[in-house]
Chain A
Amino acid sequence: DVKVTQSSRYLVKRTGEKVFLECVQDMDHENMFWYRQDPGLGLRLIYFSYDVKMKEKGDIPEGYSVSREKKERFSLILESASTNQTSMYLCASTVSSYEQYFGPGTRLTVT
């Protein structure tokens, strides 16, 4: 059974903090994605990665960076958290077909 896990379900951070969100998949997928989901705006792609140490910007990369040191793990980093980064963050992976497998999401609140 496919599995994508995210390090936290809920997270509260203060403005200016550095925040790490981690995602792990056990399916040996090459491609991994980070989205944020906001009411009325839907899923927006932040970054994606197609191999270890490889990354591509999505539609809204500003204020975020990513790291992929191992195939199964993809981290999203908020260098200096701001209140407008309060959101639901979803990680997904895929082998190269069109079905993406999503994690349960991390609800991040920045105060």
Chain B
Amino acid sequence: QKEVEQDPGPLSVPEGAIVSLNCTYSNSAFQYFMWYRQYSRKGPELLMYTYSSGNKEDGRFTAQVDKSSKYISLFIRDSQPSDSATYLCAIPDRGSTLGRLYFGRGTQLTVWP
């Protein structure tokens, strides 16, 4: 079983829609959860991170962790064409002090005008 699973989509929504992107993870000891965004022909960049359970909001983006079901989500409100990108969830390897991350496969999102 992989450490992190993510549906690769693709997902296509109209401008203004609420988008929900999701990942599941295998190890209940994981406590730190990250979302990266990757635009076409660029490297991924850190978008948001959360620690332990609960929600974290940053503008139109909300990251949510449900540790009981080992489920993490990223919600995008009022989606814009500029949000079109691949979104990757990532979780640090707890046994590593070297910064190794487990990545989901990424979900490709298209927001059309």
Contact = CB atoms under 8 A, between A and B. Distances in A.
Interface in A45-90: 45, 48, 50, 56, 90
B103 interface: yes
Contacts of A105: 41-43
Contacts, number: 56
Contact of B41 (A33, A50, A104): A104
Contact of A42 (B49, B88, B97): B88
Size bracket, chain A contacts:
20 to 34
A42 B106 contact: yes
Contacts of A42: 6, 8, 88, 103-106
Max chain B Cβ within 10 angstroms of own Cβ: one of A4, A94, A96, A102: A102
Contacts of B34: 98-99
B66 to A, nearest CB: 20
A95 B99 CA distance: 8
Interface of B: 6, 8, 32, 34, 41-46, 49, 88, 92, 97-101, 103-106
9 contacts: A33-B99, A45-B100, A96-B98, A96-B99, A98-B49, A99-B46, A100-B101, A102-B44, A104-B41
